Amino acid sequence: MNRPGFFPVWQRNFLVWKKLALPSILGNLADPLIYMLGLGYGLGAMLPEIGGQPYIAFLAAGTICASTMNAATFEALYSSFSRMHVQKTWDAILNTPLGLTDVVAGELLWATTKSFFSGCAILVVVTAMGLTNGPLALLILPAIVLTGLAFAALGLIWNALAPSYDFFMYYFTLLITPMTLISGVFFPTDQLPGWLAAIGGWLPLAQGVALIRPLLAGHWPADALIHIMALLATSAVAFAIALRLTRRRLLK
């Protein structure tokens, strides 16, 4: 049985990561967990319920999404850039029968896998804290995959454009941090000015939050198909752009 061309790329990255799997997962878990516990219990103790649930339950869904986004972004930026530009791993792979599409697709799926591990780690903690409600919480798993896929694809665009590691800070400062603040991770978007809430509602992180928060509370998300299609469309368009930009960069 012939495996798809991207699988050896994914497998190679997985085998390298497996040697440091536990520290990697703990590293992805520590920062969002500190935010969730510190803000959820500390700030949450002073806040009323939001939508009929305590603030820590509201924050838990946002933390799952933000952790997924950050893990996909870091992998698609720093790790992919290292393999492409510093370690020359991509050059070695491209000297095999695999093509550039296979390499970029493998990186996309590996970054999505890493983000899935990160999102699942937070979900396990959230479940242990008793913040999940009913079997619908299992559908959070595919929602994590969709969210990670979108941000992995977006990160690969910036990876194709970046001249150095320092360039990635612009991506975090101009896109990731503002998106985290206006997409409903820490507070309801209806607290924002109308125009800013409208912008936030179109962002991919908001689509993930709109799927995961109701599922965590045991409810089916409103307009679920719209959010799913938005994440899939973001992934497809961003991957096509990333592939084109990467091809142009490597063929210079």
Q: Which ranges in 162-223 belong to alpha helices (H)? A: 168-171, 177-182, 194-202, 204-216
Give 108-139 pLDDT, tens digit per residue. 999 999 999 999 989 988 998 888 888 999 99
Structure tokens, 237: 């368009």
Per the DSSP assignment, residues forming a β-bridge with 53 are: 50
Residues in the chain: 252
Least confident of 36-45, 170-179, 200-209: 36-45
Which sequence spans correspond to the domains of the chain?
6-250
Q: How confident is the model at residue 2 (pLDDT cuts 50, 70, 90)?
A: low
Query: At residue 13, does pLDDT exceed 70?
Result: yes
Nearest of 155, 140, 112 to residue 209 by alpha carbon: 140
Give 199-217 pLDDT, tens digit per residue. 999 999 999 999 999 999 9
Q: How confident is the model at residue 1 (pLDDT cuts 50, 70, 90)?
A: low
DSSP SS3 for 50: strand
Q: Given CA atoms 163, 175, 172, 6 in this order, what sign does their dihedral have?
A: negative
